[in-house]
Every structure is written in structure tokens, then in C-alpha cells.
Amino acid sequence: MKITDQEIKVDGIDKILLNGLIKNARVSIVELSKKAGISGAAVHQRLKKLENSSLISGSQININPKTLGYTTLAFIGVYLDKAVSNPEAVAQLRKIPEVTECHYTTGNWSVFIKILCKDNEHLMLLLNTKIQTIPGVSRTETFISLDQQINRQIAL
């Protein structure tokens, strides 16, 4: 790994390690060392450097929301009456557990959110009672996802 002008350049061994972790964040150091052809201690040192550089920011378990009954995924463009409403609106959105992502955007919307709901009725309830009642929200535009066709990390 080499850091130049705030950009991190990963080498071939780093790519092997990172791709192994992307496929399975719980892969063992021993397995990674075999794939990369280096010692377990060297793998550990490289992973530590990648963490310290902020290229790696931990690991996570992905929960399948459908198994918990969350079958509706929607994206909502939120229009705010004024840009200064953003911090408070985001603070209120943060309190809604079904909001899984929130992005400050350019274009038509002030904020673009991703939301998981049990069904369309649950979505309508959240829109009417939680999201559209936030001070500063003037209106929303909702898109329901029919199917997620691509889900991946950035390529190395």
C-alpha cells in the first residue's frame, strides 16, 4: 500500500487480502496468508495498515430484511423548504429506525433516503406520520424498489 496525494494505492497482495475480505469478512488470517503467499503476521500487519489508512472501516454482518418481514424497500426524495432545515430534518430522520440511509444531494431533492418497511401500508404510515411531519419538509417523492439487481463493493 502506498499513500500519495491523499489517495491510497493498493498493491497485488493488498488486493488479494481485500477481495478475500469482501467475499467473506470472517475469513481467517491463515486462509488469507495462504491465498496471498505471505505469513500470517504479514497479513495482520497489512490489515492493520489498511485500517489505519481508513481504507478498511471495520466489518459487518448483513441481515436479510425480508426474513424479518421487511418486504418493501423504497427511496424517498425529500424536499426541504430551506437549506438551513437540513441538520434538524436529518436529526429527525435519524430517529426513524426504518431509515437505513440518508444522503445530502444535488438536484431536485435536498435529501435522499432509503427506507425499509414491512409493506406498502407501513410505508404510507411512515410517510404520513413520521417523515412528512418533520419541520422543514415541504414534500416527498417516493420510489418503490421492485428488485435489487446489483449490490457490490467498489472494484479493486
Rounded Cα–Cα distance for residues 48 and 44 (Å): 6
| Residues 87-119: tens digit of each pLDDT | 999 999 999 999 999 999 999 999 999 999 999
Rounded Cα–Cα distance for residues 44 and 71 (Å): 39
Rounded Cα–Cα distance for residues 122 and 101 (Å): 18
Give the domains, in start order, of the chain with CATH numbers. 2-52 (1.10.10.10), 72-145 (3.30.70.920)
Which pLDDT score is estimated for 111? 97
This prediction has a pTM of 0.82
CA angle 84, 85, 86 (to 5 degrees): 90
| Residues 4-39: tens digit of each pLDDT | 666 788 899 999 999 999 888 899 999 999 999 999
Q: Confidence class of residue 2 from pLDDT cuts 50, 70 and 90?
A: low
Contact 41, 54 (CB under 8 A): no
Which pLDDT score is estimated for 58? 80
Return the higher-pLDDT residue of 53 and 71.
71
SS3 content of the chain, % helix, strand, coil (to 5): 40, 25, 35
Helices 40-52/29-36 angle, 10° precision: 100
pLDDT surpassing 90 at residue 135: yes
